[in-house]
Amino acid sequence: MKRFTVQPAFVILILGALIVGSYSVIAGPLDPPFGPVESTGTTLKDIEPRVVIHVTDIPLVIDEPGSYVLVDNLRATADLPHAIEITSSNVTLDMGGFTIMPRGGLFPVFYEVGVKVTGDLDSVIVRNGTITGCSINGINASNEASVTVQNVHSNANDANGIRLGNNARVIDCTANGNSGIGFFVGDGSVITGCIANNNAQRGIRAGEDAVIERCSATDNVDYGIQVGEGASVHRCTASGTGGSPGYGFSIATYSTVTSCTSTGNTADGFNAVAAIASVFETCTSSENGGSGFFLTNGCAARACVARENGNTGITAGQQCNIESCVADFNGSHGIDTGTSSIITGCRATANGATVALADGFSVGANNTVVSCSSSNSADKGFSAIGDASMFRDCTAYLNVNEGFFTSSAGVNIQGCVASENGGDGFHLTSTADSSILIGNQARSNDGAGFLLATGVTGCRIGQNHTTDDEYNLGFSLNFTGEIQSVVDPMNALSDDPWVNTDN
């Protein structure tokens, strides 16, 4: 095995050329200006020494700092543990556009690893080439090594394409068709402008506090992009992930995901089931087999779109914040939340493509839902399945059944509109005790405008209005509690500011 040390032999050739060339230089003026003559040329210090690597030098260990460059394709001549191993800090390996590859034929031979980086090293750079067909990893570095890989294509290796440790940098690379993970990096690493396609496991896997930007992962297995705790993912895409679990993005706790797209994955587009307090902003999830977004407790989704997913558009756990999001044409509910969540300015349209009893919004206990709209749902527009939730300034129209429905106690519905729904505009079952309906409107629903079932107690009903026509039965109030009178304002006047009107 060869070991290279930087040799300055080429400097002698350059110096000789400079001496010969000096005879042809035209002389200066006969009366030069006063003062010392200053150099205008390039000094030898400015010339980067580069060590040339030929295929005959392989296998090679680089154990001294310096700049190294390939001038041949490095085709394996025997089964070897590596083509090049780097054991020194401050090394730049420029592959010069050449390829590290196996030898095919009747008796093929392979490198286990194309480029191996060993030890606690700093400032190692590998760039500008292709590595293919290694029996393990294309590039492999220890966790302690600080490595930058740029413009390298690591494809069709039997394990991982590029496997680096902590604080790595991977820039403008591809990892396609590997039998393991495309890009596998440790904590604090950065991957930008990279492509991972058709890998047999994850496309990209990064550790804690990693940054993934402008990357794409297509037709991988298990996960498209997976990150550890505290990671940042920006302007990335994941599509066509197969296998199990088949997520486009798998996100851990305290991570931030912005301007990303997840399409056509087997399961969830964005899965944060174990990601407490992660944030998703301006992301789009469409045509995935599972939920568009599956979020756990304390997560936030802002200005996100979930469209045509096989399950729920946005599934959220407890104490989540869903703001200015859109959930359209999903197989189940549009937006489904756990307890104590806040939903503001969201829209759910035509959800329930595959689940007949799917609502636009299905919320747990103590939710607050403000300025949202639900239309054309397969079942209800808004459904409160937990106690003490509030709906304010929301609109439900053209849903198959009820506009607003609750079987839970203490639900507060104010300033909402239910129109042209196939069932009742507002429906409270016999278990919806102590609920409040104030300042709402029901128009042209096929059932009652407001229906409170027999047995419900302690409700407060005031300042509501129905518009009667051939489809609307107005008020059907079969309960005990505080209710203001119901009048037809066309035929009766009332000084009661809490009066309900029916006309």
Q: Which of 258, 256, 255, 221 is nearest to 237 (CA)?
A: 258
Mean pLDDT throughout 325-347? 98
Mean pLDDT throughout 389-414? 97
Q: What is the pLDDT of residue 477?
A: 62
Q: What is the pLDDT of residue 428?
A: 93
Residue 175 has pLDDT above 50, yes or no: yes
How sure is the predictor about 205, in pLDDT bands with cuts at 50, 70 and 90? very high
Rounded alpha-carbon distances, angstroms, from residue 112 to 135, 143, 148, 226: 5, 19, 21, 26
Where exactly are the structural domains of the chain?
290-400, 412-503
Element (H, E) at 16: helix 9-21
How sure is the predictor about 92, in pLDDT bands with cuts at 50, 70 and 90? very high
Report helix, strand or coil for 363: strand
Residue 279 has pLDDT above 90, yes or no: yes
Q: Which amino acid is at 285?
A: S
Report helix, strand or coil for 381: coil
Mean pLDDT throughout 442-469? 85
Pairing between β-strand 74-75 and β-strand 465-467 as defined by DSSP bridges: unpaired
DSSP string, 275-326: -TT-EEES-EEES-SS-SEEE-TT-EEES-EEES-SS-SEEE-TT-EEES-E
Report helix, strand or coil for 56: helix
Question: How far is 246 from 222, CA to CA, in rounded Å?
Answer: 5
Q: Which of 226, 175, 185 is nearest to 202 (CA)?
A: 226
DSSP state of 36: P
Q: What is the pLDDT of residue 367?
A: 98
Burial (CB < 10 A; 0-12, 13-18, 19+), residue 324, is: middle
Report helix, strand or coil for 402: coil
Q: What is the pLDDT of residue 138?
A: 98
Mean pLDDT throughout 71-90? 96
How sure is the predictor about 13, in pLDDT bands with cuts at 50, 70 and 90? very low
Find out whether 293 and 273 touch, Cβ atoms under 8 Å: no
Please indicate whether residue 140 or residue 45 has the higher confidence score (pLDDT): 140
pTM across the whole model: 0.87
Q: State the distance between the two ends of the chain, measured CA to CA, in whole angstroms.
A: 95
Residue 459 has pLDDT above 50, yes or no: yes
Q: What is the pLDDT of residue 351?
A: 97
The token duo for 189 is: 């690493």
Q: What is the pLDDT of residue 11?
A: 34
Q: What is the pLDDT of residue 31?
A: 60
Q: What is the pLDDT of residue 489?
A: 55
The token duo for 176 is: 């396609």
Question: How far is 185 from 117, CA to CA, in rounded Å?
Answer: 14
Q: Which amino acid is at 162?
A: I
How sure is the predictor about 495, in pLDDT bands with cuts at 50, 70 and 90? low
pLDDT by residue (tens digit) across 338-388? 999 999 999 999 999 888 889 999 999 999 999 999 999 999 999 999 999
Please indicate whether residue 319 or residue 273 has the higher confidence score (pLDDT): 319
Q: How big is the CA angle at 230 (ends 225 and 234), to the nearest 5 degrees?
A: 50
Q: What is the pLDDT of residue 23?
A: 40
Beta bridge partners of 257: 233, 280
pLDDT by residue (tens digit) across 281-307? 999 999 999 999 999 999 999 999 999
Question: How far is 167 from 144, CA to CA, in rounded Å?
Answer: 9
Q: What is the pLDDT of residue 12?
A: 33
Q: What is the pLDDT of residue 497?
A: 61
What distance lies between CA 188 and its chain's CA centroid? 18
Residue 445 has pLDDT above 60, yes or no: yes
As a whole-number percent, the residues of the chain with pLDDT over 90 amount to 75
Mean pLDDT throughout 31-40? 56
Residue 82 has pLDDT above 50, yes or no: yes
Please indicate whether residue 52 or residue 33 has the higher confidence score (pLDDT): 52
How sure is the predictor about 34, in pLDDT bands with cuts at 50, 70 and 90? low
DSSP state of 21: H
pLDDT by residue (tens digit) across 300-316? 999 999 999 999 999 99
Burial (CB < 10 A; 0-12, 13-18, 19+), residue 263, is: buried
Q: What is the pLDDT of residue 467?
A: 81
pLDDT, the chain, mean: 88
